[in-house]
Structure 1
Amino acid sequence: MDKIKKEQSHEGHSHEEQNHDHQHNHGKAPVYLYFVGLVLSLIALVLNENYEGLQNSLFLIAIVTAGYHVIVAEGLKETIERTKNNQKFTPNSHILMGLAAIGASLIGEFWEGALLILIFSGAHFLEDYAEGKSKREITKLMEMNPTTARFIMPDGAIKVVDVEELKVGDQLQVLNGGQVPIDGIILSGTTTIDESAINGESMPKEKTKGDLVFGSTINGTSTFSMEVTKENKDTVFSKILQLVNQNQGNQTKAASIIQKFEPKYVTFVLLAIPLVMLVAPLLSDWTWSESIYRGLVLLVAASPCALAASTVSVTLSATSTLAKTGVLSKGSTYLSQLADIKAIAFDKTGTLTRGKPEVTDDYFNDSIDRTKIVDIIVALEKKSNHPLANAILEKYDEKNKIDINVINQIGKGLTGEYQGKNYRIGKPTSFKVVSDEYSQLNTDWASMGKTVVYVAEDEQVIGLIGLMDIPSLEAKATIDYFKNLGIHTTLITGDSQMTGQAVGKALGIDEVIANVMPEDKSAIIDKQKAKYGITAMVGDGVNDAPALVKADIGIAMGDGTDVAVDVSDLVLMKNDLSKLVNAHKVSLKMKQIIWQNIIFSMLVVTFLVVVSLIGLADITISVIIHEGSTLVVILNGLRLLRTPKKRSLL
Structure 2
Amino acid sequence: MNTELKAIERPIEVNESFFEKVKPHAELIAAITSGVLIAVGWTLEKIDWSTTSIIAFLFAFVIGGFAKAKEGIEDTIADKELNVEMLMIFAAIGSAIIGYWTEGAILIFIFAMSGALETYTMNKSHKEISALMELQPEEALLIRGNHEATVHVSELRIGDHILVKPGERVPSDGKIIKGQSNLDEAAITGESLPVSKGIGEEVFAGTVNVNGSLTVEITKPSSDTLFQKIIQLVQSAQSEKSPSQLFIEKFEGTYVKSVLAIVVLMMFVPHFALGWSWTETFYRAMILLVVASPCALVASIMPATLSAISNGAKHGILFKGGVHLENLSHLQAIAFDKTGTLTKGKPEVTDIIVVEELERQPLLQAVASIENHSNHPLAQAIVTYVKKETGSTLAHPESIEDVSGYGVRASLDGLDWKIGKADFVGKMEAESFSNGIAKQLASEGKTIVFVKQNETLVALIALKDVVREETKAAIDLLKAKGIYTIMLTGDSEKTAEAIAGESHVDEYVAECLPETKVEKLKEIRKRFGTVAMVGDGINDAPALATANVGIAMGEGSDVALETADIVLMKNDLPRIAEAITLSQRMNRIIKQNVIFSITVIMLLIASNFLQFLDLPFGVIGHEGSTILVILNSLRLLKS
TM-score, normalization: structure 1? 0.63
Deviations 1:418-451 (A, max 9, x none): 4543111112232344323249433333333222
Equivalent residue, structure 1, for 2:343: 353
Q: Is the 8 A contact 2:537 2:564 kept in 1?
A: no
Please say if 1:461 is aligned against 2:463: no
Distance in 2 (CA, whole Å) between partners of 1:616 and 1:594 is 30
Partner of 1:407: 400
1:306 and 1:601 in contact (8 A); partners too: yes
Q: Is the 8 A contact 2:336 2:488 kept in 1?
A: yes
Per the TM alignment, residue 456 of structure 1 is displaced from its structure 2 partner at its CA by 1.0
With over 3 angstroms needed to count, the CA separation of the structure-2 counterparts of 1:558 and 1:282, relative to structure 1, is: farther
Offset of 1:53 from its aligned partner?
Answer: 6.3
User: Is the contact made by 1:522 and 1:547 (CA closer than 8 Å) also made in structure 2?
Assistant: yes
Unaligned runs of 5+ in 1: 1-32, 78-93, 134-251, 644-650
Match runs of 1:88-487 below 5 Å: 95=83, 98-108=86-96, 111=105, 255-256=243-244, 259=247, 263=251, 266=255, 280-281=270-271, 284-287=274-277, 290-396=280-386, 397-398=389-390, 403-405=395-397, 406-409=399-402, 410-435=404-429, 436-438=431-433, 440-487=436-483
1:541 and 1:370 map into 2 onto residues whose CA distance is: 41
**Partner residue in 2 for 1:591:** 587
| Secondary structure class of the residue paired with 1:575 | coil
Q: Distance in 2 between matches of 1:254 and 1:62?
A: 26
> CA 1:411 to 1:569, structure 2 compared with 1: closer, same or farther past 3 Å?
closer
Distance 1:372 1:270 in 2: 90
> Residue in 1 aligned with 2:133?
none
Matches of 1:525 and 1:128, distance apart in 2: 37
Deviation at 1:608, TM superposition (A): 1.9
Alpha-carbon distance, 1:356 to partner: 0.8
Q: Can you give the 5+ residue segments of structure 2 that lack an aligned partner in the other structure?
A: 1-22, 42-52, 129-239
Out of 538, 548, 552, the residue aligned to residue 556 of structure 1 is 552
Separation in structure 2 between the aligned mates of residue 478 and residue 416 of structure 1, nearest angstrom: 44
Structure 1 residues 257 and 485: CA distance shift in structure 2, 3 A: farther
Note if contact 2:452-2:458 (Cα within 8 Å) is conserved in structure 1: yes
In structure 2, C-alpha distance between the alignment counterparts of 1:346 and 1:352, rounded to whole Å: 7
The one-letter code matched in structure 1 to 2:527 is K
Q: How many correspondences in the alignment?
A: 479
* Residue of structure 2 in register with 1:27 after alignment: none
Give SS of 2:352's match: strand
What is the CA distance between 1:542 and its match in structure 2?
1.5
Flag the 1:400–1:618 CA change in 2: closer, same or farther, 3 A. closer
Kindly state the Cα deviation for residue 534 of structure 1 after the two structures are TM-superposed. Answer: 2.0
Q: What amino acid is the match of 2:331?
A: I
**1:575 Cα offset (Å):** 0.8
Of the structure 1 ranges 567-576 and 441-450, higher mean CA displacement relative to structure 2 is found in: 441-450
Whether the 8 Å contact between 1:597 and 1:633 is mirrored in structure 2 is yes
Structure 2 CA distance, aligned partners of 1:260 and 1:448?
54
State the Cα distance separating 1:318 from its structure 2 match. 2.6
Partner letter of residue 317 of structure 1?
Answer: S
* Partner Cα distance (1:313, 1:638) in 2: 7
Aligned partner of 2:423: which letter?
T
The match for 1:513 among 496, 509, 522 is 509
Quote how far apart the aligned CAs of 1:507 are.
1.7
SS at match of 1:334: helix
**2:247 maps to amino acid:** Q
Kept after mapping to 2: 8 A contact 1:318/1:590: yes
Residue 202 (structure 1) aligns with: none
**1:358 deviation in Å?**
0.6
State how far apart, in whole Å, the 2-side matches of 1:318 and 1:465 are.
Answer: 48
CA, structure 1 residues 122+331, in 2 after alignment: closer, same or farther (shift >3 Å)?
farther
How far has the Cα of 1:576 moved from its partner?
A: 0.9
Structure 2 vs 1, CA of residues 40 and 129 (structure 1 numbering), >3 Å: closer, same or farther? closer
Look up the match of 2:497. 501
Aligned residues: CA RMSD = 4.0
The answer on whether the counterparts of 2:474 and 2:574 sit within 8 Å (CA) in structure 1 is yes
| Cα deviation, residue 477, structure 1 | 1.4
Equivalent-residue separation in structure 1 for 2:339 and 2:562 (angstroms): 19
| SS of equivalent residue, structure 2 residue 593 | helix
CA contact (8 A) 1:416 1:422 kept: yes
Output one character per residue of 1:134-174: Cα deviation in whole Å (capped at 9) or x when no partner: xxxxxxxxxxxxxxxxxxxxxxxxxxxxxxxxxxxxxxxxx
Local SS of the residue matching 1:454: strand
Match of 2:70 in 1: 65
Maintained 8 Å contact 1:66/1:118: no
- For residue 181 of structure 1, what is the aligned residue in structure 2? none
1:276 to 1:523, Cα distance in 2 relative to 1, 3 A: farther
Amino acid at match of 1:375: Q
Please give the secondary structure, in 2, of the residue aligned with 1:337: helix
- Normalising by structure 2, we get a TM-score of 0.64
**Residue deviations 1:254-279 (CA, integer Å, cap 9, x gap):** 72378379739939867865676676
Assess if the C-alpha contact under 8 Å between 2:496 and 2:509 holds in 1.
yes
**Counterpart Cα distance in 2 of 1:461 and 1:352:** 34
Change (3 A) 1:365 1:54: closer
Q: CA deviation at 1:307?
A: 2.4
Retained in 1: the 8 A contact 2:493–2:510? yes
What is the rounded CA distance, in whole Å, between the counterparts of 1:590 and 1:53 in structure 2? 40
Q: What is the rounded CA distance, in whole Å, between the counterparts of 1:385 and 1:117 in structure 2?
A: 67
1:521 offset after TM fit, Å? 3.5
Which whole-Å CA distance do the structure 2 matches of 1:538 and 1:128 have between them? 30
Cα offset, 1:563, TM superposition: 1.1
Question: How many angstroms apart in 2 are the aligned matches of 1:551 and 1:619?
Answer: 52
Query: What SS is found at the alignment partner of 2:405?
Result: coil
CA contact (8 A) 1:544 1:564 kept: no
The alpha carbon displacement at 1:458 in A equals 2.3
Name the CA distance, whole Å, in 1 between partners of 2:260 and 2:484: 43
Counterpart CA distance in 2 for 1:400 and 1:299 is 84
- Give secondary structure in 1 for the equivalent of 2:540: helix
Query: 1:351 offset after TM fit, Å?
Result: 1.2
Question: Could you list the per-position Cα deviations for residues 311-357 of structure 1 after superposition, in whole angstroms to 9, with x for gaps in the alignment?
Answer: 34433333333333222223333222211211212121111111211
Identical-pair percentage: 36
Cα-to-partner distance string for 1:394-433 (whole Å, 9 max, x where unaligned): 3333486563415141234222224543111112232344
**Partner of residue 607, structure 1:** 603
The equivalent of 2:210 in structure 1 is: none
- 2:618 is aligned to 622
**In 1, distance between residues paired with 2:382 and 2:281?**
86
Matches within 5 A, 1:519-538: 519-538=515-534
In 2, the alpha carbon distance for the partners of 1:119 and 1:552 equals 39
Q: Counterpart of 1:340 in 2: which secondary structure?
A: coil
- Which has the higher mean CA deviation after the structures are superposed, 607-616 or 354-363? 607-616
Taking the aligned partners of 1:281 and 1:492, their CA distance within structure 2 comes to 71
- Matched residue of 2:71: which SS? helix
What is the aligned partner in structure 2 of residue 205 from structure 1?
A: none
Q: Which residue of 1 aligns with 2:631?
A: 635
Instruction: Call closer, same or farther: CA 1:387–1:308 in 2, change over 3 Å.
Output: same
